[in-house]
């Protein structure tokens, strides 16, 4: 009997998608391709910093913190360091 080339599960009739893949792995495959497609057309964004994938409206925490610093820099005469140390 064949095993799934991805997760090495024994491909019994109820779980075999093909000779090489089980259903869960096939679904994951399709999901990954779909996500890559969405990134390509700009519906999803992949964070270059941590690799997390976000939809158009959400932003990664990596950037949120940068955005806050940027906001502080551009809107306040107080230095960033002073704000971060503020008790
Ligand atoms: Zn599998
Ligand atoms: Zn990130």
With H, G, I as helix, E, B as strand and everything else as coil, classify residue 41.
coil
Torsion of CA 67, 69, 72, 73, to 10 degrees: -110
User: What pLDDT is attached to residue 14?
Assistant: 95
* pTM of this prediction exceeds 0.85: no
25 contacts 7 by C-beta, under 8 angstroms:
yes
Tokens of 7: 């997760």
17 contacts 23 by C-beta, under 8 angstroms:
yes
- Residues around ion ligand 2, judged by CB within 5 A, are 47, 49-50, 60, 62
User: What pLDDT is attached to residue 18?
Assistant: 95
Cα 54 to middle of ligand 2, angstroms: 9
Cα 73 to middle of ligand 2, angstroms: 21
Residue 18 is classified by DSSP as S
pLDDT truncated to tens, each residue of the chain (87 aa)?
899 999 999 999 999 999 999 999 999 999 999 999 999 998 898 888 888 888 865 667 775 666 667 776 777 665 556 556 656
């Amino acid at each position: 009997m064949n095993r799934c080339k991805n997760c090495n599960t024994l491909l019994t009739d109820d779980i075999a998608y093909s000779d090489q893949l089980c259903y869960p792995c096939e679904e994951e495959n399709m999901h990954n391709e779909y996500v890559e497609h969405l990134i390509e057309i700009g519906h999803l964004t992949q964070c270059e910093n941590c690799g997390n994938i976000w939809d158009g409206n959400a932003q990664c925490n990596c950037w949120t913190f940068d955005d806050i610093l940027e906001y502080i820099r551009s809107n306040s005469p107080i230095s960033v360091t002073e704000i971060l140390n503020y008790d």
